Structure 1
Amino acid sequence: MDGSFLSTLLMQAQVEIVKIHMQARSPFLSLTASLFALAVLSGCDSKQPQTSTVAESINSTAVQQIASLEVQNPSDFSRPDQPLLLPFTDLGITAAEATALVVMQQEHLIPSQLIDHSGDGEKDTLYLHLSMAAAERQQLQVLQDPIRFRQQAWPARTQAEISHKVGGEWQGAKYHGGDFVNVTELTAPEQYTDHSEWIRYEGPGIESDRVGYRIYLDWRNGFDIFGKKTQQLVLQDVGQDGYQSYHAMADWGMDILKVGLTLGAGGYGFWDGEQVQLVSEVGQHSARIHESGPLYSGMQIHYQDWQIAGKTLDLTANFSMTPGSRLVHTRLELSESLPHMAIGLVKHPGTEVIHGPQEITGHAWTYVATWGDQSLAGDQLGMALLFKRSTRLQQTEDEHNLVSLIRVPDQRMEYYFLAAWQGEPGGIQSKDEFVAYLDQQIEALTLTPRVRLNTALTDALVQQPLTAERALDWSERLAASEMIRQTPYYRYGGWDFERRRPATWEYTTGLLLQAYDDLFELRPNAEWQQVIVDVVDSFITEQGDIHTYDIKKYNIDSINTGLILLRHYLRDAKPHHRQALDLLRQQLAEHPRTADGAFWHKQVYPHQLWLDGVYMGMPFLAYYSSEFEDGKALKEVVKEFELVYQLLRDPATGLYYHAWDEGRQQVWADPETGLSPHFWGRGLGWLTMALVDVLDYIPAEQTELREPLLHMISDLAATLARYQDSESGTWFQILDQPEATGNYLEASASAMFTYFYAKALNQGYLPQQYRDTALKAYQGLLQEFVLVHPDDSISFVNTVQVAGLGFGRDGSYQYYMSEPVFRNDAKANSPFIMAGVQIARLLGIDH
């Protein structure tokens, strides 16, 4: 068979594979079809030895690659017990398909477990247990391999259990006789209370190879610690002979905490203004063990009809532990809202209170802890609560507890508690050791592993040849996914799921609606147009005011949504919409500025020029002025870009610093230049988008005004091409430090730069030599950041949620690494949708 015919046949086979995949929505069927086609084709080449039959090739599909991933430790210290969760939906498979998953590093099995992470009774996640050296990258494969799956026998390093007596009888509030039997679910009977001798050690227990905990399943709801002198699992033997045995030192250890009527080692309740109210007045307690090792254990307690704060509500608590860790991940969910939950530690004399760092980003983890002579074994014990800094409303205390009041913005919250006992094998011996340990724990929680994930389901689609129609398909697919997840909820009175707060008039709302509007031009869809109308109209009052907007904050971020309002107004001119537009224009007229005339970022960020703000304010100002002022503000708009070029551009690299402080007073500002220290990807992304968008509103004949912007576009195109990752075609979070520990390919900046190149090419601002740069960047967006889920929705991943300066954000490299890495953030999804529209135009779709 000649080569040309073979190539043609291969292409035809690939087309059929895609068709099968699209119909079946199954990576297994797609992979089977791929292997079948390749087997047929290999048999057609007479020059290749035929060592296997087609049937044998089909049988080999018992081992199927589901995904490959790269995992990086973002810290300069080792993480010997690093957990990693991969939801089945991210892997592109359903729960029914996730039957025999194994994880390989070359030929070595990586410890893993199929788990029910949500606690709803169904397996939903692949748990990986990694051992990672400092800054190490690991290449892993997720396979469906029934043989290796059956061969896995990981040592049990965690467990959860609950046990109660059977075969005896109740006599009042005590249970007499009988034997303990472990169960997976238990609901305490009405007569059950403390010391009823029905539940072994009085509640459910959970442990790792480091430490164990129990939670009283009665009105006390205290959290207690089993200090362990061994790394073996011990809960199964604790309390079998009665309540007193674990209060004395045994070979395995003992109960080491005096809890009393307190929160104990990390319990929860409600702060009434003077003291903690425990979760005591409850109609019914239930406990369920949904995972018990070997690597991940999880349990759930459900409190029905909790009487608190004048309400009757349900509380569900999920707890989990992983090997080598002292931490218990605690997730609470309320059936009704409360202003806070109180979490805390028992106060004992002879202990010292330790507070974790506070001058950090609100998304970073911190702690409050105690250390000292508080162990019932007569030695040192440390306890700690770990939480995100911004979630704590107040730190207080009552007679018995140190108390942290934690926000519950959407009736959900999470935190960790831990205990470190001096008597455990290799136990922490001093306060200094304890603080060093806690600092590593909060860094590990804040700097999550960097993950690049490729799945068979996603690859089957993203590796198809790129055409204009396919680019639009991807934009439409993400827009459709967001219509389910978020977009309609951006309306006034709705909920911002990303920020976990009520929807407000802010730039992310406007940005996503602009993306829908751009897409609508090439893919008309009444649903897209209606959601724009619904969300925009919901914020504008009949008097022309804007709900949640306050002009006196002089926040330039608030201006951006005016762009979609103006587009909407020009299609349907309503007087109160024009009044709202005039209000935004008034802000820019009054907005405080630097001595040279650059707009401050916000009133609360005085004398500061940020890259972000150029996009937030200048396209709107140019658009408004061109429509209603005969362009009188266009010189002002161009001046803002010229000041950014003069003040923020680094001549050595051609990159732009994130911000500049005219007063040289900010902690992040260089005392001589006033500049922040790093080149942040999305900050520069905002500038590039602003450049190509503003030119839409400056008439072509005004060449003198356009020339500085065109020069910046040309200069940035050459600069960004030098910093584009040669392998992926995308860009890093910190643009000029690709090899720095923890740095990662970042989705929002990459999407913005792709939009910049494609639109600049479409508008004739750049020569065609950049066409390949734009197409490589767009293909990189698909391969690096798109995940296709089994329900045909998609996600856009690896976006830094936010990055700013001041208020605990010091502008250091470590700071930029510490901000959470999110998915489906409007700051990335919107430019991706918009980039797809521009790529479609670049590839020749009809305008």
Structure 2
Amino acid sequence: MFSSNKALTNNKQFATTLTPCLTKASLAMAICFAMFGCSKPINSEQASDTTPIKEVTQPSRVKIAEVDVINPSTFARKDEAIYFSYYDLGIEKPKKNSSIEVLHQEKQLSTQHIDSDYDGVNDGILFLIDLIDNKVNTVTINTVKMNTINEKTGINQPVFKKRVQAEISHKVDGNWLAHTKPAKHLIDKNLQEYQGGKFKNVTQLTPPDYYSDHSNWIRYEGPGIESDKVGYRIYLDWRNGFDIFGKLTEEPILSKIGQDGYESYHHMQPWGMDILKVGGSLGAGGFGLMTDDKNSTLEHISEVKTRQAIIAENGNIQSRVNINYLGWKNSLNTQNLTANISMIAGSRLAKVHLNLEKDLPNITAGVVKHQGSKLIQGNIDISGYQYSYIASWGKQSLDDSMLGMAIFFKKGQLIKTLEDEKNYLVQLKPRGKSGETAVEYYFASVWQPESGIDNEAEFIAYLKQEADKLTRKPRTYLSTALTEQATSTPLKAEGALNWGIALADSELNRKALGYFHNGWDVNRARKPKFEYDIIGLQPYTFDLLADLTGDEKYRQVIEQVTASFITDDGKILAYNKKNFNIDNIPPGRNLLRLYKRTQDEKFRLAATALRQQLTEHPKTSQGAFWHKNKYTNQLWLDGVYMGMPFLAEYAMMFEEGHQQQESLHEVINEFKLTRKYLRDEKSGLYYHGWDESKEQSWANKSTGQSPEFWARGVGWLAMAIVDVLDSIPEKNIDDRKFLIEMVSELADTLAKVQDQTSGAWWQVLDKPNAVGNYKESSATAMFTYFFAKAINNGYLTDDYNNIAQSAFKALINEFTVVHLDGATSMTNQCYVAGLSFGRDGSYGYYMNEPVSVNDPKGTSPYILASIEMYKLLNKN
């Protein structure tokens, strides 16, 4: 529902190393500037606030950040929700006498302080902006400090139109009496109903154990949540169904519903009406557990010791209800489950985030299956991070109008879609650490009188757009006052290195040491595997930083992470040679370093096992390594980096004579075949992959090439060339000549597609102006490393100095965020990309993969680039 630049960790420990342009003094100055307006404040009109204050004063405004927001879609995205954490903005939580305002074209945008991680504490701001086309929308975020305090709230926060609401109300001043019509399945309990009294709104409610449905105690039978489009209610009893209030007004209406009992809202009112018959189904997006028995029975969240509803947020643009199901007894275990259900203004979608105390094989969400309704299923031939949906459409509203309902989910959480007698269902896989798993999905309803959507085709068009919006987030470029202060010093050698050190220290504090065997991969939310980035590239990078700086703390990563996968007899844990996955090879470079340093035989044995994989690894007819055993006949740019630097290093360490020359021949052949089959003669750029059989859905039937020039794919190749050259002997004149010519050729090509304004490179290299394309940081870091190292080693002349320096400045100015504690983060990273089922290599595919923060595939090249820039600037 909203775009986030929040770092992937909540660990905000102090990073001990600051950049030279971010000394403690300059940091303090920057903080002073950002938080307290030490420079002359800019006076402007009084902030809008209708609540009385003690006296009228002029607020002082200080800019804390500027954000460029770009619509990544071909359609308008009205009321797009954008989130930034206080941490990324470089500020503390606003004090009582200050607030945050967000301005676009001198107009104040609706803003709210929210709790994005459900821990009960606000951690950032959410604002709404209309993205009509793909032009840049520059947004300014200011602190507004007042000399007087709002008498009512204690905080000077502008009052925005209330467009969402969450509430719950129950009766007081009446009496509990024996229930006249208790639910049949609970007839044996001492159920009661409430008579007399009046309704009272509360922020928290725990029904007594003698409460059940139709007890006349909770107004409309549970908590309600609404946007300006639609309202929902959740039955706070054994049914746990989700119902719909169709709205004919944009005004909040929950407080008007059910004041005179349960009957009136089942008939048309000026505000709308209850439009769904839930019956014994999940309703409009409820959830349960699908048992794995012969009949695949759906279990509702029925047997619960205690249900507790909490109005967690009731803001103007976002509201949220928490429901705690304490002591939920299902057929597999008894546990506590927490549901966070939220809505944002301008949207019909409700977000459901479920936290499980104990593991379950699935959570099954669904919508009621009414007679005459039609099941609609979205495309699932997509990547795991894209959203799809199941939906129903038909004349299924209680007012006899057309009604559509939908569940939106990430493909990666999908187990299967199915249906039973009462529901259309989707089974979702809980993700996370054991005992801390979670499921997230959205539900929505589209009522004909409110939406104007009259037929199935229009409903499907709506579903596709909503799935696209959930998948493809707005492109945001954040520049904070704190970061600008830190980057204001001219670039020098020590400064370049210290930017890398700052990010390395930040990652050490956040997660770099947590990838040990049986540890936790926070990016992928799973246990670490023996693979290229977290076990290979990142520890290798930290070890190089230790070589240069002499700081032994950076040795921890290779010793505590990579080495933890190697048993005393040289076996590799979490590794299976039979997969013939070339992504498993990069940690081998670390094994070679560990063996050199320790002479421990287990590291040599493990490295030899990886060398044996390459000996047996399947290849194309001319000898190019397949990317994986399951990716038959395919050569990818990524794979060249994954395999060749290790193969060359291993050959020079442990092989001799003919065997060594054969290994080096394989290395050079891989580059020759990559150039032959993946390089586009016209542009000089390289396609992501090549299928020799030309059978893959993504492969050009004439050439076998994938369709686009993915930046990080070319980045892997660029790094592979300069790294392999480290191992090719000077006597291999022809081999080195070929590789150096390849360096020069690629450098000229990359120079042509570098963004001339920023110095960065785009996610799809040759389409900078296409809708959705964005400046991508991991590739920019890789190309910076490539240029700087090539110049340092004499493969390129000093004529390329300006390109290298402008690229490094882009890393700092475009993609680095400085936090208040001195830590730094790297933003705008393509999280992942590949070529396989659901990943067709199209332009749209590369736009739909997530944009991430502080992923090792980006932070490691960033640190490598800083090392090489330090060397380069020391030469000049």
Q: Aligned residue for 1:8?
A: none
Which residue of the partner structure matches residue 699 of structure 1? 729
Shift of 1:293: 3.0
Query: Helix, strand or coil for the counterpart of 1:639?
Result: helix
From 476, 495, 507, the equivalent of 2:532 is 507
Query: How far off its partner does 1:178 sit?
Result: 1.8
Name the counterpart of 1:66: 64
Matched, 1:495 2:525: no
Shift of 1:576: 2.5
Do the aligned partners of residues 475 and 309 (structure 1) sit closer, same or farther apart at CA in structure 2, a change above 3 Å counting?
farther
Report if aligned partners of 1:32, 1:61 keep a CA contact under 8 Å in 2.
no
- Letter of the aligned partner of 2:65 in structure 1? A
User: 1:392: how far off?
Assistant: 0.4
Does the alignment pair 1:708 with 2:738?
Answer: yes
SS at match of 2:216: coil
Match in the other structure for 1:822: 852
| CA displacement, residues 253-297 of structure 1 (integer Å, 9 cap, x when unaligned) | 211111122211111111112212111222221122122232111
Cα deviation digits, residues 437-491 of structure 1 (max 9, x gap):
0001011111110000101111111222222222222222222222233222211
**CA shift at 1:150, angstroms?**
5.3
Give the AA of the match of 1:290: A
Is the 8 Å Cα contact of residues 167 and 202 (structure 2) preserved in structure 1?
Answer: yes
1:36-435 map, 5 Å: 62-97=60-95, 99-146=98-145, 152-171=158-177, 173-273=192-292, 274-410=296-432, 411-424=437-450, 426-435=451-460
Number of the residue aligned with 2:573: 547
Q: CA deviation at 1:681?
A: 0.2
Q: Distance in 2 between matches of 1:579 and 1:195?
A: 70
Give the conservation status (yes or no) of the 8 Å contact 1:21–1:30: no
Q: Distance in 2 between matches of 1:309 and 1:789?
A: 47
Q: Could you tell me how far apart the structure 2 residues matched to 1:133 and 1:245 are? A: 40
Q: Distance in 2 between matches of 1:472 and 1:710?
A: 26
Taking the aligned partners of 2:716 and 2:58, their CA distance within structure 1 comes to: 49
Q: 1:27 to 1:591 in 2, by over 3 A?
A: farther
1:509-530 Cα offsets, whole Å, 9 max, x none, are 2111111111111223333212
Matched-pair contact (CA < 8 Å) for 2:760–2:775: yes
8 Å contact kept, 1:27–1:92: no
**Cα 1:566–1:61 shift into 2, 3 Å:** farther
Equivalent of 1:686 in 716, 736, 741: 716
Supply the AA of the counterpart residue of 1:100. S
Please list the CA deviations of residues 152-195 of structure 1 after superposition, one character each: whole Å capped at 9, or x if unmatched: 44222111111112222333522222211112222223332222
Q: Which AA in structure 2 matches 1:625? A: A
Is this contact kept in 1: 2:34–2:482, CA < 8 A? Answer: no
Instruction: Name the aligned partner's letter for residue 198 of structure 1.
Output: W
Tell me, yes or no, if the aligned pair for 1:761 and 1:842 is still in contact at 8 Å: yes
- State the distance in 2 between where 1:216 and 1:247 align: 15
AA of the residue aligned to 1:119: Y
Tell me which moved more, 480-489 or 827-836. 480-489
In 2, the alpha carbon distance for the partners of 1:60 and 1:582 equals: 72
SS in structure 2 at match of 1:760:
helix
Tell me the secondary structure at the aligned position of residue 843 of structure 1: helix
Moved more, 246-255 or 396-405: 396-405
Aligned partners of 1:65 and 1:456 also within 8 Å: yes
CA shift for structure 1 position 33: 4.0
Indicate the residue corresponding to 2:632 in structure 1: 606
Q: Is the 8 A contact 1:206 1:297 kept in 2?
A: yes
Q: Distance in 1 between matches of 2:554 and 2:321?
A: 43
Give the aligned CA root-mean-square deviation in angstroms: 2.2
Alpha-carbon offset, residue 532 of structure 1 = 1.5
Deviation at residue 384 of structure 1 after TM alignment:
0.4
Instruction: Give per-residue Cα distances to partners, 1:776-810, cap 9 Å, x unaligned.
Output: 11111011111122232221111111111121111
- Residue number among 24, 32, 35 corresponding to 2:37 in the alignment: 32
SS in 2 for 1:444: helix
Q: 2:496 aligns with which of 471, 484, 493?
A: 471
Q: Distance in 1 between matches of 2:550 and 2:195?
A: 73
Deviation at residue 570 of structure 1 after TM alignment: 1.4
SS at match of 1:458: helix
The one-letter amino acid of 1:169's match is: N
- Aligned partner of residue 501 in structure 1, secondary structure: coil
Opposite residue 168 of structure 1, the aligned amino acid is G
Whole-Å separation in 1 of the counterparts to 2:136 and 2:305: 50
Query: Which of 24, 27, 33 is 1:22 aligned to?
Result: 27
Query: Quick check: 2:27–2:482 contact (8 Å CA) kept in 1?
Result: no
The Cα offsets for residues 279-330 of structure 1, whole Å up to 9 and x where unpaired, read as 1222221122122232111221112222234323221111111222110011
376-385 vs 571-580, which deviates more? 571-580
Give the corresponding residue for 1:9. Answer: none
Alignment-mate amino acid for residue 324 of structure 1: G
Shift, 1:843, TM fit: 2.1
Equivalent-residue separation in structure 1 for 2:232 and 2:29 (angstroms): 46
Distance in structure 2 (CA, Å) of the matches to 1:195 and 1:567:
70
CA shift at 1:134, angstroms? 2.9
The answer as to whether partners of 1:266 and 1:343 remain within 8 angstroms in 2 is: yes
Corresponding letter in the other structure for 1:839: M
- Higher RCO by CA contacts (8 Å cutoff, separation 6 or greater): 2
Aligned counterpart in structure 2 of residue 448 of structure 1, from 462, 469, 473: 473
Query: Take 1:845 and 1:29, find their aligned partners in 2: how far apart are those partners?
Result: 36
1:791–1:193 distance in 2 versus 1, CA, 3 Å: farther
Alignment of 1:612-623 (within 5 A): 612-623=638-649
Identity of aligned residues (%): 47
**Gap change, CA 1:334 and 1:618, over 3 Å in 2:** same
Long gaps (5+) in structure 1: 1-13, 39-58
* Aligned equivalents of 1:27, 1:285: Cα separation in 2: 47
Report the TM-score, using the length of structure 1 for normalisation.
0.92
Comparing 564-573 with 786-795, greater Cα deviation is found at 786-795
Secondary structure at 1:777 match in 2: helix
Q: Structure 1 residues 24-33 or 672-681, which shifts more?
A: 24-33
| Residues paired across the two proteins, number | 811
CA offsets per residue over residues 3-55 of structure 1, 9 Å max, x none?
xxxxxxxxxxx99996544247725467734559x9xxxxxxxxxxxxxxxxx
1:61 deviates by 8.7
Task: Identify which range, 793-802 or 139-148, moves more after superposition.
Answer: 139-148
SS in structure 2 of the partner of residue 674 of structure 1:
coil
Question: 2:34 touches 2:91 (CA, 8 Å); kept in 1?
Answer: no
CA distance in 1, matches of 2:869, 2:826: 17
Query: Does the CA-based 8 Å contact 1:158-1:297 persist in structure 2?
Result: yes
Amino acid across the alignment from 1:387: F
Which letter maps to 2:342? Answer: S
Say whether 1:581 aligns with 2:586. Answer: no
Q: What aligned pairs does 1:690-769 form with structure 2 within 5 A after superposition?
A: 690-769=720-799
Aligned to 2:189: none
- Aligned match of 2:463 in 414, 435, 438? 438
Q: Secondary structure at the match of 2:445?
A: strand
SS at 2:775 equivalent: coil
Which blocks of at least 5 consecutive residues in structure 2 are unaligned? 1-18, 43-56, 179-191
Of 534, 545, 550, 1:524 maps to: 550
* 1:534 equivalent in structure 2: 560
Q: Is the 8 A contact 1:222 1:267 kept in 2?
A: yes
User: 1:719–1:97: structure 2 CA closer, same or farther, 3 Å change rule?
Assistant: farther
Aligned partner letter, 2:27: M
CA contact (8 A) 2:20 2:494 kept: no
- Distance verdict in 2 for CA 1:441–1:579, change over 3 Å: same
Matched, 1:656 2:654: no
